[in-house]
Structure 1
Amino acid sequence: MSVTRLGKVVPQTSILFLCDMQEKFRPNISYFPQIVSVAARMLKVAKALEIPIVVTEQYPKGLGLTVQELGAEGLPKYSKTCFSMLIPEVEKEMAAVPNLKSVLLCGIETQACIMSTALDILERGLDVHVVADACSSPRWTGSWPSPGCARAAPFLPPVKDSSCSSSEMLRTPVSERSRS
Protein backbone atom coordinates (compact mmCIF):
# COMPACT_ATOMS: atom_id res chain seq x y z
CA MET A 1 0.00 0.00 0.00
CA SER A 2 1.31 3.45 -0.82
CA VAL A 3 -0.04 6.95 -1.08
CA THR A 4 -0.12 7.88 -4.73
CA ARG A 5 -1.57 11.37 -4.46
CA LEU A 6 -2.34 14.12 -2.04
CA GLY A 7 -6.04 14.76 -1.97
CA LYS A 8 -7.61 18.06 -1.15
CA VAL A 9 -10.23 18.62 1.47
CA VAL A 10 -13.50 19.62 -0.19
CA PRO A 11 -16.45 20.02 2.19
CA GLN A 12 -18.96 18.26 -0.10
CA THR A 13 -16.82 15.11 -0.34
CA SER A 14 -15.32 15.00 3.16
CA ILE A 15 -16.17 13.73 6.62
CA LEU A 16 -14.66 14.60 10.03
CA PHE A 17 -13.72 11.77 12.42
CA LEU A 18 -13.32 12.55 16.14
CA CYS A 19 -11.75 9.54 17.82
CA ASP A 20 -12.13 8.58 21.49
CA MET A 21 -11.66 11.90 23.31
CA GLN A 22 -12.94 10.57 26.63
CA GLU A 23 -12.67 11.41 30.33
CA LYS A 24 -10.47 8.50 31.44
CA PHE A 25 -7.82 9.43 28.87
CA ARG A 26 -7.50 12.98 30.23
CA PRO A 27 -4.67 12.35 32.77
CA ASN A 28 -2.64 10.05 30.50
CA ILE A 29 -2.63 11.74 27.10
CA SER A 30 0.02 14.33 26.34
CA TYR A 31 -1.41 17.78 25.57
CA PHE A 32 -4.97 16.52 26.14
CA PRO A 33 -6.55 19.98 26.74
CA GLN A 34 -4.84 21.38 23.65
CA ILE A 35 -5.84 18.57 21.30
CA VAL A 36 -9.44 18.70 22.52
CA SER A 37 -9.48 22.47 21.94
CA VAL A 38 -8.15 22.07 18.40
CA ALA A 39 -10.58 19.22 17.67
CA ALA A 40 -13.42 21.41 18.97
CA ARG A 41 -12.36 24.11 16.51
CA MET A 42 -12.35 21.54 13.68
CA LEU A 43 -15.83 20.45 14.80
CA LYS A 44 -17.08 24.05 14.60
CA VAL A 45 -15.67 24.46 11.09
CA ALA A 46 -17.22 21.14 10.01
CA LYS A 47 -20.62 22.18 11.38
CA ALA A 48 -20.43 25.57 9.67
CA LEU A 49 -19.58 23.92 6.35
CA GLU A 50 -22.13 21.11 6.84
CA ILE A 51 -19.43 18.42 6.77
CA PRO A 52 -20.68 15.17 8.33
CA ILE A 53 -19.13 14.35 11.71
CA VAL A 54 -18.47 10.97 13.30
CA VAL A 55 -17.62 10.64 17.00
CA THR A 56 -16.45 7.35 18.51
CA GLU A 57 -15.93 6.24 22.09
CA GLN A 58 -13.62 3.39 23.02
CA TYR A 59 -15.44 1.14 25.53
CA PRO A 60 -17.35 4.04 27.17
CA LYS A 61 -18.55 1.85 30.07
CA GLY A 62 -14.95 1.64 31.29
CA LEU A 63 -13.31 4.72 29.77
CA GLY A 64 -16.08 7.27 30.22
CA LEU A 65 -17.92 9.49 27.82
CA THR A 66 -16.68 12.06 25.32
CA VAL A 67 -15.38 15.14 27.12
CA GLN A 68 -17.86 17.99 27.27
CA GLU A 69 -15.42 20.67 26.07
CA LEU A 70 -15.23 18.98 22.65
CA GLY A 71 -18.69 20.40 21.96
CA ALA A 72 -20.08 17.18 20.51
CA GLU A 73 -23.37 17.30 22.41
CA GLY A 74 -26.25 16.22 20.23
CA LEU A 75 -24.05 14.20 17.90
CA PRO A 76 -24.35 10.41 17.90
CA LYS A 77 -21.48 8.62 19.65
CA TYR A 78 -20.50 5.23 18.28
CA SER A 79 -19.17 2.79 20.84
CA LYS A 80 -16.31 0.53 19.79
CA THR A 81 -13.98 -2.03 21.30
CA CYS A 82 -11.45 -2.26 18.47
CA PHE A 83 -8.75 0.22 17.52
CA SER A 84 -10.15 1.29 14.14
CA MET A 85 -13.05 3.70 13.93
CA LEU A 86 -14.34 1.87 10.86
CA ILE A 87 -17.00 -0.16 12.63
CA PRO A 88 -20.28 -1.02 10.82
CA GLU A 89 -22.15 2.06 12.15
CA VAL A 90 -19.37 4.36 10.97
CA GLU A 91 -19.22 2.59 7.60
CA LYS A 92 -22.94 3.46 7.20
CA GLU A 93 -22.20 7.12 7.95
CA MET A 94 -19.45 7.07 5.34
CA ALA A 95 -21.72 5.43 2.76
CA ALA A 96 -24.23 8.26 3.28
CA VAL A 97 -21.73 10.86 1.99
CA PRO A 98 -22.08 11.08 -1.81
CA ASN A 99 -18.72 10.82 -3.57
CA LEU A 100 -16.77 10.58 -0.30
CA LYS A 101 -13.09 11.20 -0.99
CA SER A 102 -11.51 12.54 2.21
CA VAL A 103 -11.52 11.85 5.92
CA LEU A 104 -10.19 14.42 8.38
CA LEU A 105 -8.94 12.53 11.44
CA CYS A 106 -8.60 13.92 14.97
CA GLY A 107 -8.25 12.17 18.33
CA ILE A 108 -6.36 9.62 20.37
CA GLU A 109 -4.34 7.47 20.63
CA THR A 110 -2.03 7.98 17.65
CA GLN A 111 -0.17 4.66 18.00
CA ALA A 112 -3.40 2.65 18.14
CA CYS A 113 -6.75 4.06 17.01
CA ILE A 114 -5.50 6.90 14.79
CA MET A 115 -2.98 4.67 13.00
CA SER A 116 -5.46 1.79 12.57
CA THR A 117 -8.19 4.10 11.33
CA ALA A 118 -5.85 5.89 8.91
CA LEU A 119 -4.65 2.60 7.43
CA ASP A 120 -8.24 1.32 7.07
CA ILE A 121 -9.27 4.55 5.33
CA LEU A 122 -6.37 4.24 2.90
CA GLU A 123 -7.30 0.61 2.18
CA ARG A 124 -10.70 1.85 1.05
CA GLY A 125 -9.06 4.16 -1.49
CA LEU A 126 -9.90 7.36 0.39
CA ASP A 127 -7.61 10.23 1.32
CA VAL A 128 -6.87 10.63 5.00
CA HIS A 129 -5.88 13.98 6.50
CA VAL A 130 -4.44 13.51 9.98
CA VAL A 131 -4.85 16.81 11.85
CA ALA A 132 -1.55 16.70 13.74
CA ASP A 133 -2.38 19.27 16.41
CA ALA A 134 -5.64 17.44 17.18
CA CYS A 135 -4.03 14.02 17.80
CA SER A 136 -1.96 12.68 20.68
CA SER A 137 -0.83 9.66 22.71
CA PRO A 138 0.58 9.05 26.19
CA ARG A 139 4.19 9.59 25.09
CA TRP A 140 3.72 12.17 22.35
CA THR A 141 6.37 14.89 22.25
CA GLY A 142 4.71 17.16 19.74
CA SER A 143 6.56 15.90 16.65
CA TRP A 144 5.27 13.66 13.89
CA PRO A 145 5.22 10.75 13.58
CA SER A 146 4.23 10.29 17.19
CA PRO A 147 5.72 7.38 19.17
CA GLY A 148 4.27 4.09 18.03
CA CYS A 149 3.10 5.51 14.72
CA ALA A 150 6.45 5.53 12.92
CA ARG A 151 5.72 2.11 11.38
CA ALA A 152 2.80 3.55 9.44
CA ALA A 153 4.49 6.85 8.52
CA PRO A 154 5.65 5.71 5.05
CA PHE A 155 2.04 4.83 4.15
CA LEU A 156 0.39 7.96 5.50
CA PRO A 157 0.10 11.26 3.69
CA PRO A 158 1.87 14.26 5.16
CA VAL A 159 0.03 15.46 8.22
CA LYS A 160 -1.48 18.93 8.43
CA ASP A 161 -2.23 21.19 11.33
CA SER A 162 -5.72 22.52 11.98
CA SER A 163 -4.99 25.91 10.37
CA CYS A 164 -3.96 24.26 7.12
CA SER A 165 -6.96 21.89 7.16
CA SER A 166 -9.44 24.68 7.96
CA SER A 167 -7.96 26.99 5.32
CA GLU A 168 -8.22 24.25 2.73
CA MET A 169 -11.89 23.69 3.56
CA LEU A 170 -12.59 27.45 3.50
CA ARG A 171 -10.94 27.97 0.11
CA THR A 172 -14.05 29.70 -1.22
CA PRO A 173 -14.69 33.17 0.26
CA VAL A 174 -17.69 33.35 2.60
CA SER A 175 -19.44 35.87 0.34
CA GLU A 176 -19.23 33.46 -2.60
CA ARG A 177 -20.45 30.47 -0.53
CA SER A 178 -23.53 32.37 0.64
CA ARG A 179 -24.59 32.99 -2.98
CA SER A 180 -24.87 29.30 -3.80
Structure 2
Amino acid sequence: MSKFNLDTKDAVLFIIDIQDRLVKVMKYGKQIIDKTNILISASEELKLPIIYTEQYPKGLGGTVPELQERLETAKKFEKVNFSAYLEEVKKELENTGRKKIIITGMETHVCVFQTARDLIENGYDVFIVSDGVCSRTKEDYKNGLSLMRDMGAVITNTETVVFDLLKKAGTPEFKVISKLIK
Protein backbone atom coordinates (compact mmCIF):
# COMPACT_ATOMS: atom_id res chain seq x y z
CA MET A 1 0.00 0.00 0.00
CA SER A 2 3.01 2.34 0.18
CA LYS A 3 2.35 3.34 -3.44
CA PHE A 4 -0.81 5.09 -2.24
CA ASN A 5 0.77 6.80 0.77
CA LEU A 6 2.11 10.35 0.55
CA ASP A 7 4.77 11.44 3.01
CA THR A 8 6.22 14.93 3.33
CA LYS A 9 9.76 13.55 3.35
CA ASP A 10 9.32 11.76 0.03
CA ALA A 11 7.03 14.00 -2.09
CA VAL A 12 7.58 16.66 -4.75
CA LEU A 13 4.98 18.96 -6.34
CA PHE A 14 5.39 19.00 -10.14
CA ILE A 15 3.42 21.69 -12.04
CA ILE A 16 3.26 21.18 -15.80
CA ASP A 17 2.65 24.00 -18.29
CA ILE A 18 -0.02 26.16 -16.63
CA GLN A 19 0.62 28.96 -19.10
CA ASP A 20 -1.22 32.04 -20.35
CA ARG A 21 -2.27 30.83 -23.78
CA LEU A 22 -3.12 27.32 -22.62
CA VAL A 23 -5.30 28.48 -19.72
CA LYS A 24 -7.34 30.67 -22.09
CA VAL A 25 -8.54 27.63 -24.04
CA MET A 26 -9.28 25.43 -21.03
CA LYS A 27 -12.83 25.33 -19.71
CA TYR A 28 -11.50 24.53 -16.21
CA GLY A 29 -8.43 26.75 -16.34
CA LYS A 30 -9.42 28.82 -13.29
CA GLN A 31 -10.08 25.66 -11.25
CA ILE A 32 -6.63 24.33 -12.16
CA ILE A 33 -5.03 27.58 -11.00
CA ASP A 34 -7.03 27.56 -7.75
CA LYS A 35 -6.23 23.91 -6.93
CA THR A 36 -2.58 24.37 -7.84
CA ASN A 37 -2.40 27.41 -5.56
CA ILE A 38 -3.70 25.27 -2.69
CA LEU A 39 -1.04 22.66 -3.44
CA ILE A 40 1.67 25.30 -3.62
CA SER A 41 0.62 26.65 -0.22
CA ALA A 42 0.56 23.17 1.29
CA SER A 43 3.94 22.36 -0.28
CA GLU A 44 5.48 25.53 1.11
CA GLU A 45 4.05 24.90 4.59
CA LEU A 46 5.20 21.28 4.56
CA LYS A 47 8.55 22.06 2.89
CA LEU A 48 8.04 20.00 -0.27
CA PRO A 49 10.21 20.85 -3.27
CA ILE A 50 8.32 22.39 -6.19
CA ILE A 51 9.26 21.95 -9.84
CA TYR A 52 7.44 23.55 -12.76
CA THR A 53 7.71 23.60 -16.52
CA GLU A 54 6.74 25.84 -19.38
CA GLN A 55 6.11 24.41 -22.83
CA TYR A 56 7.60 26.68 -25.52
CA PRO A 57 7.00 29.93 -23.55
CA LYS A 58 7.87 32.06 -26.59
CA GLY A 59 4.69 30.80 -28.25
CA LEU A 60 2.46 29.83 -25.30
CA GLY A 61 3.43 32.57 -22.86
CA GLY A 62 4.81 32.10 -19.38
CA THR A 63 3.26 30.55 -16.32
CA VAL A 64 0.09 32.45 -15.38
CA PRO A 65 0.80 35.40 -13.04
CA GLU A 66 -1.45 33.96 -10.30
CA LEU A 67 1.02 31.08 -9.97
CA GLN A 68 4.24 32.69 -11.16
CA GLU A 69 4.32 35.11 -8.23
CA ARG A 70 4.16 32.12 -5.87
CA LEU A 71 6.94 30.13 -7.55
CA GLU A 72 9.99 32.32 -6.87
CA THR A 73 11.84 29.56 -4.99
CA ALA A 74 10.63 26.71 -7.21
CA LYS A 75 12.79 25.16 -9.94
CA LYS A 76 11.65 26.16 -13.44
CA PHE A 77 12.38 24.27 -16.63
CA GLU A 78 11.51 25.35 -20.17
CA LYS A 79 10.82 22.66 -22.72
CA VAL A 80 9.74 21.82 -26.22
CA ASN A 81 9.32 18.09 -25.50
CA PHE A 82 5.83 17.10 -24.47
CA SER A 83 7.20 15.02 -21.60
CA ALA A 84 8.49 17.20 -18.79
CA TYR A 85 10.86 14.43 -17.68
CA LEU A 86 13.81 16.23 -19.22
CA GLU A 87 17.42 15.39 -18.43
CA GLU A 88 17.62 18.49 -16.18
CA VAL A 89 14.40 17.51 -14.39
CA LYS A 90 15.71 13.97 -13.96
CA LYS A 91 18.81 15.36 -12.24
CA GLU A 92 16.75 17.72 -10.07
CA LEU A 93 14.50 14.88 -8.92
CA GLU A 94 17.49 12.65 -8.21
CA ASN A 95 19.00 15.47 -6.13
CA THR A 96 15.87 15.61 -3.95
CA GLY A 97 16.06 11.87 -3.25
CA ARG A 98 12.25 11.81 -3.32
CA LYS A 99 10.19 9.23 -5.21
CA LYS A 100 6.55 10.40 -4.97
CA ILE A 101 5.57 12.98 -7.57
CA ILE A 102 2.34 14.99 -7.24
CA ILE A 103 1.32 16.35 -10.65
CA THR A 104 -0.92 19.23 -11.69
CA GLY A 105 -1.04 20.91 -15.08
CA MET A 106 -2.01 20.87 -18.72
CA GLU A 107 -2.91 18.98 -20.82
CA THR A 108 -3.96 15.72 -19.18
CA HIS A 109 -3.70 13.60 -22.33
CA VAL A 110 -0.45 15.08 -23.70
CA CYS A 111 2.23 16.61 -21.45
CA VAL A 112 0.83 15.29 -18.17
CA PHE A 113 0.35 11.79 -19.64
CA GLN A 114 3.81 11.60 -21.24
CA THR A 115 5.49 12.95 -18.11
CA ALA A 116 3.66 10.46 -15.89
CA ARG A 117 4.60 7.60 -18.23
CA ASP A 118 8.28 8.55 -18.13
CA LEU A 119 8.29 9.02 -14.35
CA ILE A 120 6.61 5.65 -13.73
CA GLU A 121 9.00 3.96 -16.16
CA ASN A 122 11.88 5.40 -14.11
CA GLY A 123 10.64 4.13 -10.75
CA TYR A 124 8.61 7.04 -9.39
CA ASP A 125 5.18 6.81 -7.77
CA VAL A 126 2.99 9.32 -9.56
CA PHE A 127 -0.05 11.05 -8.06
CA ILE A 128 -2.24 12.77 -10.65
CA VAL A 129 -4.40 15.45 -9.02
CA SER A 130 -7.61 14.95 -11.03
CA ASP A 131 -9.07 18.35 -10.11
CA GLY A 132 -5.67 19.94 -10.82
CA VAL A 133 -5.24 18.76 -14.42
CA CYS A 134 -7.30 19.43 -17.53
CA SER A 135 -7.53 19.15 -21.30
CA ARG A 136 -9.45 21.14 -23.86
CA THR A 137 -12.09 18.42 -24.11
CA LYS A 138 -13.71 16.20 -21.51
CA GLU A 139 -13.01 13.12 -23.65
CA ASP A 140 -9.27 13.86 -23.81
CA TYR A 141 -9.18 14.55 -20.04
CA LYS A 142 -10.93 11.27 -19.23
CA ASN A 143 -8.77 9.32 -21.67
CA GLY A 144 -5.58 10.80 -20.19
CA LEU A 145 -6.64 9.86 -16.64
CA SER A 146 -7.60 6.36 -17.76
CA LEU A 147 -4.27 5.80 -19.52
CA MET A 148 -2.32 7.00 -16.48
CA ARG A 149 -4.35 4.82 -14.09
CA ASP A 150 -3.70 1.83 -16.34
CA MET A 151 0.05 2.61 -16.22
CA GLY A 152 0.00 2.61 -12.43
CA ALA A 153 -0.45 6.28 -11.51
CA VAL A 154 -2.58 7.09 -8.47
CA ILE A 155 -5.53 9.24 -9.55
CA THR A 156 -6.36 11.48 -6.62
CA ASN A 157 -7.59 15.00 -5.83
CA THR A 158 -6.40 18.12 -4.05
CA GLU A 159 -8.03 17.44 -0.68
CA THR A 160 -6.89 13.83 -0.56
CA VAL A 161 -3.31 14.90 -1.31
CA VAL A 162 -3.32 17.67 1.29
CA PHE A 163 -4.83 15.61 4.09
CA ASP A 164 -2.64 12.59 3.28
CA LEU A 165 0.44 14.78 3.57
CA LEU A 166 -0.83 16.25 6.85
CA LYS A 167 -1.72 12.85 8.37
CA LYS A 168 -3.49 14.39 11.42
CA ALA A 169 -5.39 17.41 12.68
CA GLY A 170 -4.32 19.77 15.41
CA THR A 171 -0.79 20.47 14.19
CA PRO A 172 0.37 24.00 13.36
CA GLU A 173 0.56 22.96 9.68
CA PHE A 174 -3.01 21.64 9.78
CA LYS A 175 -4.27 24.95 11.17
CA VAL A 176 -2.66 26.86 8.28
CA ILE A 177 -3.49 24.44 5.48
CA SER A 178 -7.05 23.51 6.50
CA LYS A 179 -8.08 27.14 5.96
CA LEU A 180 -7.20 26.75 2.28
CA ILE A 181 -9.71 23.95 1.79
CA LYS A 182 -12.78 25.68 3.19
TM-score by length of 1: 0.86
Which amino acid in structure 1 is aligned with residue 81 of structure 2? C
Paired residues in the alignment total 172
State the match for 1:79 in structure 2: 78
Alignment partner of 2:113 out of 92, 115, 119: 115
The range that moved more, 150-159 or 24-33, is 150-159
Which amino acid in structure 2 is aligned with residue 77 of structure 1? K
State the match for 1:44 in structure 2: 41
Residue 11 of structure 1 contacts residue 50 of structure 1 at CA under 8 Å; is this kept in 2?
Answer: yes
State the match for 1:28 in structure 2: 25
Give per-residue Cα distances to partners, 1:60-119, cap 9 Å, x unaligned: 011100001124341332100111111122112201113x22000000000101111111
Check 1:169–1:148 CA distance in 2 against 1; reply closer, same or farther (3 A cut): closer
Measured after TM superposition, the shift of residue 121 of structure 1 is: 1.1
Percentage of pairs with the same residue: 28
Measured after TM superposition, the shift of residue 5 of structure 1 is: 6.4
Which amino acid in structure 1 is aligned with residue 58 of structure 2? K
State the match for 1:159 in structure 2: 155
Tell me the distance in 2 between the aligned counterparts of 1:81 and 1:148. 20
Residue 107 of structure 1 contacts residue 114 of structure 1 at CA under 8 Å; is this kept in 2?
Answer: yes
The range that moved more, 145-154 or 52-61, is 145-154
Tell me the distance in 2 between the aligned counterparts of 1:61 and 1:160. 32
Tell me the distance in 2 between the aligned counterparts of 1:158 and 1:93. 22
Question: 1 or 2, which has the higher helix percentage?
Answer: 2
Which amino acid in structure 1 is aligned with residue 152 of structure 2? L
State the match for 2:96 in structure 1: 97
Which amino acid in structure 1 is aligned with residue 77 of structure 2? Y
Q: What are structure 2's unaligned runs of at least 5 residues?
A: 174-182
Measured after TM superposition, the shift of residue 149 of structure 1 is: 4.9
Which amino acid in structure 2 is aligned with residue 130 of structure 1? I
Measured after TM superposition, the shift of residue 151 of structure 1 is: 3.8
Check 1:80–1:149 CA distance in 2 against 1; reply closer, same or farther (3 A cut): same
Measured after TM superposition, the shift of residue 58 of structure 1 is: 0.2
Tell me the distance in 2 between the aligned counterparts of 1:148 and 1:171. 29
TM-score by length of 2: 0.85
Residue 84 of structure 1 contacts residue 120 of structure 1 at CA under 8 Å; is this kept in 2?
Answer: yes
Alignment partner of 1:169 out of 127, 140, 165: 165
Which amino acid in structure 2 is aligned with residue 162 of structure 1? T
Structural RMSD (CA) = 2.3
Measured after TM superposition, the shift of residue 57 of structure 1 is: 0.2
Q: Which runs of 4+ in 1 moved over 6 A?
A: none
- The alignment partner of 1:78 has SS state of strand
Tell me the distance in 2 between the aligned counterparts of 1:127 and 1:15. 11
Alignment partner of 1:9 out of 3, 6, 10: 6
